[in-house]
Amino acid sequence: MAVTSPPHPVPDAAEILRARYARRLPARLEDLAGPARGLVDLPLHVVWSGRRSFEVDRPRARMGLYRTVLAEGQREDLARFLDRDLLIGQWPVLRTLISSQIRDVWDEAFPELTLARRPAA
C-alpha cells in the first residue's frame, strides 16, 4: 500500500495556536482598560476550575491573573481584565511564564512590549 501526502500542507499545532491567539488580540494596547487595583473575579468561561479571584495589587496574584486571561480570555476579556500600563510593566517577566505562541503573537503585534524588555541606555 502506497503512502500519499495530503494535497495541502497540514498546519502544525503551534501555527493553529498562534492563529487562535492572534484573532483575540485587541486592536491596540490602549484598548486594555482593566483594573489597576482591587479584586478581580474572572468568569467561568475564562477559568473553569481553580482560582477565580485575584488581587490586582499583589504582584504574584496579578501575574496569575494576566497569565490566565492571556491564555484563556477572548478579546473582550483582554480589554476588560488587563490594564495597558500594568501589562507593559510586567511584560519582561510575564513573557517568560506564558506559552511561546502567546508571547510571539503579542511581541509581533505590539512592539512597545518588546521595547519594555530593553534596559534603558
Q: What is the mean pLDDT of each successive set of 10 residues along the chain, which is 121 residues long?
A: 69 86 95 97 93 95 97 96 97 95 96 70 44
Mapped onto helix, strand or coil, the DSSP state of residue 36 is coil
pLDDT of res. 83: 98
Residue that is written with C-alpha cell 495556536 in the block: 17
Phi-psi region of 86 (alpha: psi -120 to 50; beta: other; left: phi over 0): alpha
